[in-house]
Structure 1
Amino acid sequence: MDKRQFIKSCALAASFLPLAGCANVIAAPGAVANTAAGSGKQILPIALQPGDTVALVSPSKATDHLLDVQIATEVMQALGLKVKLGKHLTSRRGHLAGTDQDRADDINSMFADPDVSAIICLRGGSGAARILPLLDYALIKKNPKALLGYSDITALHNAIHAQTGLITFHGPNGTGSWNSFNADQFRRVFFQQERMQYENVIDARDELAARQNRIITINSGKAQGEIIGGNLSVFTSLAGSPYLPDFTNKILFVEDVQEAPYRIDRMLSTLKLMGALDKLAGFIFGDCTGCNPIGGYGWLTMDQIFDDHIKPLQIPAYRGAMIGHIKQQFIVPVGAKVEMDADNGSFKLLQSVFQTA
């Protein structure tokens, strides 16, 4: 993946920082040093309604085709929304959608714009973490709006939540698949403000037993807590920074794409070594698309990896949730309080995730 080189450089930098003591890291301008400081008080975004204006921004990789912008615009319009394009949406610097300052400016300006009700990320890729020190968290906190995206946008979700307490939304990017499942879920989450029950859609098709969207319970039980997470490799690349939320009593959800099992093992090891896994109330793993073993002397299976890292935690845990680089994916409010059921393979919202009038 194009995010791997960036993650390697982040890992090298993080190796000089105390992973277990993120609060001791010197904060970047606009950021607080204590990772728990921003999440002490939860902030809800303003509600979104048909007819409102949403902004399209590109915090990570540049778009290779202008048609992507047109399609994302048409998707938002089909949902009944007006669209405002970020000033640097189609800019390019190497693989990035403009300079770091350009991309940060687009996000800051859209949070500040009174005509914009929500912010949709055009795509993921690599590079969102580069702009974290350039975001105006005080501005974001004063102008709470929904932010939607996934993959590399994991960096934004966690930084914004850690620094402000704002709930953001892990779900389809503007250039993602907007099939009937995703479009219906968007309307239910944003327009109807439904307290969602997230349970996999099971379709046996022409099989006696369903093979798609199956869940596997790692540890039985139910748990409640604020849900945090996103793409595992991006998430762990933030280790040692002030841009990860506090893990205490949280429910962690993660997913990944095109990562060999040994890399998943290494990332979970990082979370274990920094003390994160031991603080969790629950664990949900989504899809690991294209996470196939590579050659060598053998490899741990995904089953063994979860048995080694998650099962000993003795907290409710399951894998197979419809979260990740897949066509139909849940829109998860990052930072919202949920209850998970590891036996049923589901989780549900326990609160409203938007401001009420």
Structure 2
Amino acid sequence: MTRRHLLAAATAGGAALASAIGARAQPVLQSAAPTRPARLRRGDLVTLVSPASVTYDQDTLLIAVESVEALGLRVRVGEHVMSRYGYLAGADRDRAADINAAFADDEVRGVIALKGGWGAARALPYIDFDAIAAQPKVMLGYSDITTLLNALLARSNLVGFHGPNGSSPWTEFTTREMQRIVFDGETPLMRNPQVRQDTLAVRENRTYPIVPGRARGRLVGGNLTLLSALAGTPYFPDTTGAIVFLEETNEYIYRCDRMLTQLALAGVFEKAAGVILGGFTDCDVSPGGYGRFSLHDVFEQHLVPTAKPAFSGAMIGHISQKRTIPLGVQAEIDAEAGTIELLEPAVI
């Protein structure tokens, strides 16, 4: 192919993507009663999909299949799960096609992301949100899957589940917490376990009130990087009166500050009823040396002026012991106690 043909092909591809975005971009849905999917039960069929980064190691897929089967579920692997398109798990249309196919299949009861990374946003223009709204199912994942979960809430009005990916370490805590929400439909009061071990004070899983108080609202959020990148698009859910939860990993403090600033400038915190900050794993350093802000400083600078209840330290995100948080479900937080209580089941 000549240089001219290569440039023409690239231009055509860009035009196709722009056309798809324009065709599918619709106003964000606003509803006080999002659609709850049917709960998962042992023996149900679920599909593993790869909405984001490529998987190079076959063992990653095999371990994910074995983990999900250990939950008592049957597993089908999406057609393009092991595809490669640069650093993505297949072309944008192909990754979206696996998601569309899983939701369209009457036999499939749930969809689980194999992993995160990057790329789910690129697939959004090719996802059939109307068809998904007509056949609601459990969608589970985290990290880059934040993009997909929030888009499903905004465009299909569907409750999604910010929890382990298929390839996550399914610890006893992580497994139990997911099953309580997705299988059993419980409405738990979530409080971090306080284990003192061989120390005079509790050192692990501590929560810190940033703005004391209680707040109620539907849960919206996920990974800070992806949520801030989604702001201003048709796939960003309405945060008016919401409880916004955020988590992050491996970012300098100034970058967290930049992304929190983006959300603040977009009015997210001012509109919200309250804020939960989960794990900010390996985000405790920043270039600049003496005089730099701590992560807690940055949290306070953005959240204290809003006077909305907020706390940090929730067991959400890139941590081995993670909770599953349902987007769209009504919850109440107590910032001083560091608790999250679901006020309604996330499944039917």
**TM-score if structure 2 supplies the norm length?**
0.91
Q: Shift of residue 340 of structure 1?
A: 0.6
Q: Does 1:313 align with 2:306?
A: yes
Contact 2:20 2:126 in 1 (8 A): no
Once the two structures are superposed, the pairs formed by residues 95-244 of structure 1 within 5 Å of their partners are 95-244=87-236
Q: Shift of residue 41 of structure 1?
A: 4.4
Q: Shift of residue 201 of structure 1?
A: 1.6
Which structure has the larger Rg over C-alpha atoms? Answer: 2
Q: Does 1:322 align with 2:315?
A: yes
In structure 1, what is the equivalent of residue 284 of structure 2? 292
Name the SS for the 2:21 alignment partner: coil
Q: Specify the code of the residue in structure 2 equivalent to 1:135.
A: I
CA–CA separation in structure 2 for the residues paired with 1:344 and 1:89: 42
More displaced stretch, 42-51 vs 291-300: 291-300
More displaced stretch, 37-46 vs 258-267: 37-46
In structure 2, what is the equivalent of residue 351 of structure 1? 344
Q: Specify the code of the residue in structure 2 equivalent to 1:156.
A: L
Contact 2:120 2:145 in 1 (8 A): yes
Contact 1:46 1:354 in 2 (8 A): yes
**TM-score if structure 1 supplies the norm length?**
0.89
CA–CA separation in structure 1 for the residues paired with 2:66 and 2:56: 18
Contact 1:45 1:144 in 2 (8 A): yes
Q: Specify the code of the residue in structure 2 equivalent to 1:274.
A: A
Contact 2:284 2:294 in 1 (8 A): no
Q: Specify the code of the residue in structure 2 equivalent to 1:321.
A: A
CA–CA separation in structure 2 for the residues paired with 1:50 and 1:89: 23
Cα-to-partner distance string for 1:279-317 (whole Å, 9 max, x where unaligned):
010000001111132333542111211221101111111
Q: Does 1:269 align with 2:255?
A: no
CA–CA separation in structure 2 for the residues paired with 1:30 and 1:184: 41
Closer/same/farther in 2, CA of residues 81 and 29 from structure 1, 3 Å limit = farther
Closer/same/farther in 2, CA of residues 246 and 337 from structure 1, 3 Å limit = same
Give the percent of matched residue pairs that are identical in Structure 1 and Structure 2: 43
CA–CA separation in structure 2 for the residues paired with 1:86 and 1:117: 14
Q: CA RMSD in A?
A: 1.5
Cα-to-partner distance string for 1:147-204 (whole Å, 9 max, x where unaligned):
0000000000111101111000000100101011111122222222111222112222
Cα-to-partner distance string for 1:56-91 (whole Å, 9 max, x where unaligned):
001000112111111111111111010011000110
Cα-to-partner distance string for 1:315-346 (whole Å, 9 max, x where unaligned):
11100000110000010001110011111101
In structure 2, what is the equivalent of residue 75 of structure 1? 67
In structure 1, what is the equivalent of residue 331 of structure 2? 338
CA–CA separation in structure 2 for the residues paired with 1:39 and 1:299: 42
In structure 1, what is the equivalent of residue 7 of structure 2? none
CA–CA separation in structure 2 for the residues paired with 1:327 and 1:57: 22
In structure 2, what is the equivalent of residue 17 of structure 1? none
CA–CA separation in structure 2 for the residues paired with 1:184 and 1:287: 19
CA–CA separation in structure 2 for the residues paired with 1:27 and 1:225: 33
More displaced stretch, 325-334 vs 205-214: 205-214
Contact 2:159 2:346 in 1 (8 A): yes
Contact 1:38 1:161 in 2 (8 A): no
Q: Specify the code of the residue in structure 1 equivalent to 2:196.
A: A
The count of corresponding residues between Structure 1 and Structure 2 is: 329
Q: Shift of residue 122 of structure 1?
A: 0.3
Contact 1:216 1:318 in 2 (8 A): yes
